[in-house]
Amino acid sequence: MYGGRDGAWVDESTPRRGEGAGNRALIEAEDTLLGAGLDGVTVLRVAGIYGPGRDPRPRFARPELLPMRGEYWVNLAHQADIVAAITGSVTWSGQPRVLNVSDGAPATAAEVARWCAQARGIDPASLVFDGEGEISRSNQRISNAALVATGWRARFPSFREGFSEPFTSG
């Protein structure tokens, strides 16, 4: 949803870009909520969701298929941390605001793939990254500083902690 695909850091003030129907719909929904004249509105922009029922690890198990040889940024947020952000925002009574929900520890897709390989007992040095395609989404590093300033703290401060636990429900 943010402009640019150059690996730069982005925050809530970064200009939005409406490429694709999904991004245009998100921008329209944000504009509607923020322009409604209501206090207590919080728009949460959520990074790549993972946890029970959403496991991105298989995507990284095939490094040869990662576009750009895995040299693009991935931003993630565990479901438990997203729930904590939602829960924390329901008591907000101030001016409308926007907060990024991300673990705040972006990593390259290649870094995630290497970590996943090592966790499965595979030598990360043996991985082959030869995918040349264009990345399908963004290539930015999402800052969660505004969310952290509200007192929110990630239970899973990076994919390493989140991927180390089984994705079980309950």
Question: What pLDDT digit, counting tens, does each position of 69-84 carry?
Answer: 899 999 999 999 999 9
Burial of 50 (0-12, 13-18, 19+ CB in 10 A): buried
Contacts of residue 27, defined as CB under 8 A and 6 or more positions apart, other chains included, come to 1, 16, 18
Average pLDDT, the chain: 92
**CATH entry, 9-164, from 3.90.1010.10, 1.10.10.10, 3.40.50.300, 3.40.50.720:** 3.40.50.720
Bigger pLDDT: 170 vs 127? 127
Q: Which is more confident, 68 or 150?
A: 150
Q: Break the chain into its structural domains and give their ranges.
A: 9-164
* SS3 state of residue 73: strand
Q: Which two tokens stand for residue 9?
A: 């850091």
Output the pLDDT for position 169.
59
Token digits of residue 35: 């322009």
| Cα–chain center distance at 30 | 18
Say yes or no to pLDDT of 3 above 60: yes
**Count of Cβ atoms closer than 10 Å to residue 14 Cβ:** 17
9-55 pLDDT, tens digit each:
999 999 998 778 988 999 999 999 999 999 999 999 999 999 999 99
pTM for the complete prediction?
A: 0.92
Q: How many CB atoms lie within 10 A of CB 17?
A: 15
